[in-house]
Structure 1
Amino acid sequence: MPISLRFYSSLIKCSRQNYSSIRKTKPKIQLESEEVREPKPVHVLRNPYPWKTKEQFVDHIAANVIYNKDGLVAINKPFGVPLMKSGLTTGHNESLFSIDEVLIPLASKLNVEKLLPAKSVERFASGISLFTCQDEKVVDKIRQCYNTNKLRKIHTFKYLVVTIGEPKPSESKRTVGMGLFEHKDLTRKLPVIMKEYSKKKVAENLVQEYKVSYKTLSHGDGPCSLVEIDVSSVKNHFLRVYFAHLFSPILGDHIFGNRVQEIKGKRLTISPVQADYLSNFQKIPADILARLKVVESGSVPNCLHLSQITLANFASRNSNLVLKAEPPPGFQFICETFGLNLPNSNE
């Protein structure tokens, strides 16, 4: 009996429905000629700690060793990494690891017996940190180098700093005194720059003197400047306090940066008491945040980088050891954003 045309029509319709169903559910095959989309890179300021495991962190630190000789190891420490972990760390704003907890695997990676801290840059700064791989003799030798620097009037530390605005004057070489400010509304003493002080106060350790020499390297095309400063010491957050005193606080200084506020378009200093009661983060102008493509001031790192350390007569009596380190990615990104030209590290 011949098959009716209605049967053929029903069969074709059923086949089309089945094929349509298969086409919707069957996974697509990636052709070799098709372009594979790369994952969107994470904003460098939103990812200050890219390492997720201790092994990755050790590899990162090992890759940032800038000197390993004569019992001395120098590391270009990343921003935000503490020498020792003071407590539990949680969230993306805290480093999961400290330098201290990876010294043993790092020593093994560098083929040295052990590593002992000698001089570390502060946690929320980046730059050269010194370690010894022998004993206290090397630490004593470093101290002798510091003393020789003082006798020869050689500044031990050179920092690169990004400031809000430009320091006035644009360059200076002087001795600066810093003392402690007391107030009934404060539970602690705050460091302040002393405009006038006596030698008696220096002798009584009421005022600490710092020898500084700074110059503005680049103005860029925005509200920030790149400054290079040589300084004899950085105790008690001297650089943070000093740049705030110059009406040009360090960008990302969430400790003393609020001592300078923009009022009716002008940058003015406010009292340490008022600044101490402001938010935990520096109040960064909105135009700076917009250009950096971040919303919160807390996302901006402290732009303070120890770029050079000079150790007089470290290797021999006739030569100085000069260690240099490039700024971290976040610092470089900020400089690029505002057209600030970093100096050549080979100079």
Structure 2
Amino acid sequence: MFRKLSKAASRLPTSAGVSSRQHLSSVRKFSFNSAARQCYSHRNKPCLVLAPHCTYHNRQLSVLSTKIGLLQQSRPSSFKTFHDGQTQAINFSKHYRLLWARHTARDFSSQSKLSEDVEAKLDVEDLLENINKKIIFVNDDIVAINKPYGLSVFGSSPPSVNSDKPATTFVGMLSHLKDKLNCSYLDVGLSLKSFYSGLVILCKNKNSKKQMEKVLAGAQAQKIQFKTYLVITVGVPQCSHGVDLTANIAREHLHNREMSTVSDKYIHTAAKEGTMMQTHFNVQPLAVNSSVGAALVQVTINKDKWEAVEVIMSHYLSPVLGDHIYSRRTQLIRGIPFAASAHASLPGPQILPQTIVEALQSREDCVEKDLPLFVHCHKVVLNKFPTKSSPPLIITAPPQEEFLTTLKCLGLYQEGMFP
């Protein structure tokens, strides 16, 4: 086991150990969440300097544990250093900074963590019953489920074998779902973020799983807007409505975490490095309440990773209701929205206009920081699935009760909107 870890760790770049007294005065601070373990720039190269904790007495084991920590995207507390007071400087390339930010993002984001109360109350049978009620489409190849907000598909980590904690993820429940649905095979074909509600598709055989991956990859490459989201926004998107648009979304390290920004230019080298993508979308307001300052918006899109929906809505001065990450990029002066710099806008609880706060007074969770993210995956169109001769398969998931209640509070709901 030790040899395998050593072999994996040897692939990661490191620099020589440096003395904290020798270099601490000359290094330039590179801020991270943990004050005790700061990230500095050594010799004009970003690197991570770990504070001594007198934990390990074996230098080689310390270096190995540090490498493995980066490989596993470990928390800062899992890094250890040497008993002699030296620190280990690790060459912190842009790729590793993004990995680190991707992990530390979980510490702040109220969107990406599951409700602890829900996890504590739901046991396996309750969750199975709840998921079974949410099944909206079944055939020989797939099962479509209208996922509630807060339920993770994959989860941050698999459930422990010896843990009494229930497996509150779709992946953790697959074995139970197979028995419930009388399937010999069941796997995730189309996933969805835990802080979204809406369509999740499970494949019932390996052939449908393979074809699903092919269809989704083809739709993204051919710029087919196969996903439709319903979004409650603060304000109306300041862009052309009902017209196909393009956005260049870059992934950057901002405010001690990995975040997305909208770029004016598409950089091919960044796309090859996996830090930029181009997404094609269409925005159409379905209902607008000007007196309250809220809207129900339909967004069709071909690529939705990296919080693309939230970033695009904030870019067009209409942040998603419940977005505590990107909403502060839109600022209001005397009720007029304007764009603030992504580099200057710190993530934080969404600041809502007083008109929206008053309209939400009937909700128990109307406090801004406790609002869920109102993004619902409403419809998915699968072309040439499961075979090339198959007609387009359209699956629709009605909004959750919480979503509908909020629409009514904001005066955006109309009878017959979602048959």
> Aligning the two structures, in what range does the TM-score lie when normalised by the shorter sequence?
0.7 to 0.9
SS at match of 1:235: coil
1:299-345 deviation digits (Å, cap 9, x = unpaired) = 32101011011110114414011111011111111111122146744
Aligned to 2:340: 270
> Bigger CA drift: 284-293 or 208-217?
284-293
Provide TM-score, normalisation by structure 2. Answer: 0.62
Give the equivalent residue in structure 1 for 2:147: 77
Q: In the superposition, relative to structure 1, how do residues 207 and 85 fare at CA in structure 2: closer, same or farther (>3 Å)?
A: closer
Instruction: Check 1:47–1:288 CA distance in 2 against 1; reply closer, same or farther (3 A cut).
Output: farther
| Aligned-pair identity (%) | 23
How big is the shift at 1:200? 6.6
Matched, 1:190 2:272: no
Q: Which amino acid aligns with 1:193?
A: V
Change (3 A) 1:69 1:48: farther
Alpha-carbon separation, structure 2, partners of 1:88 and 1:285:
40
Matched, 1:319 2:391: yes
Distance in 1 separating the partners of 2:126 and 2:256: 41
Residues 129-278 of structure 1: matches in 2 within 5 Å? Answer: 129-135=200-206, 137-149=207-219, 154-169=224-239, 171=241, 172-181=243-252, 186-197=255-266, 207-220=276-289, 222-276=292-346, 278=347
For 1:151 and 1:296, locate their aligned partners in 2 and report how far apart those are by CA, in whole Å: 41
Distance in 2 separating the partners of 1:47 and 1:205: 33
Question: What CA deviation, in whole Å up to 9, does each residue of 1:160-205 have, x standing for no partner?
Answer: 111000011351321211123456xx44453111123456765675
CA contact (8 A) 2:187 2:209 kept: no
CA distance in 2, matches of 1:174, 1:156: 14
**CA distance change for structure 1 residues 71 and 179 in 2, over 3 Å: closer, same or farther?**
same
TM-score (norm 1): 0.74
Q: Residues 54, 141 of structure 1: CA spacing in aligned structure 2 closer, same or farther, 3 A cutoff?
A: same
Q: Shift of the alpha carbon at 1:271? A: 2.1
Give matches, 1:104-143, under 5 Å: 104-135=175-206, 137-143=207-213
Partner of 1:174: helix, strand, or coil?
Answer: strand
SS at match of 1:178: strand
SS in 1 for 2:168: coil
Give, in angstroms, the shift of residue 143 of structure 1: 2.0
Paired position in structure 1 for 2:11: none
Q: Which residue pairs with 2:403 in the alignment? A: 331
Give unmatched runs, 5+ long, in structure 1. Answer: 1-45, 90-94
Is the 2:158–2:172 Cα contact (8 Å) retained in structure 1?
Answer: no
Per-residue displacement from partner, 1:120-164 (whole Å, max 9, x unpaired)? 1101000101111222x2221012222443576531211111100
Q: SS in structure 1 opposite 2:373?
A: coil
**Alignment match, 1:21:** none
Change (3 A) 1:206 1:147: closer
Q: How many residues were matched structurally?
A: 291
Q: Taking structure 1 as reference, are residues 242 and 109 closer, same or farther at Cα in structure 2, changes over 3 Å only?
A: same
Question: Equivalents in 1 of 2:268, 2:169: separation in Å?
Answer: 41
Higher relative contact order (CA 8 A, sep 6+): 1
SS at match of 1:274: coil
Counterpart residue type for residue 165 of structure 1: G
Q: Indicate how the Cα distance of structure 1 residues 129 and 102 shifts in structure 2: closer, same or farther if over 3 A, else same.
A: same
Conserved 8 A contact 1:262-1:268 = yes
Residue 284 (structure 1) aligned to one of 352, 358, 361: 352
**Counterpart Cα distance in 1 of 2:182 and 2:258:** 45
How many angstroms apart in 2 are the aligned matches of 1:47 and 1:308?
29
Letter in 2 for 1:283: I
- The residue type paired with residue 145 of structure 2 is I
User: 1:315, 1:321 within 8 Å by CA — same for their partners in 2?
Assistant: no
**1:232 CA displacement:** 0.7
User: Which AA in structure 1 matches 2:179?
Assistant: S
1:296 aligns with 2:367: yes
- Aligned match of 1:40: none
Aligned CA RMSD, in angstroms, stands at 3.0
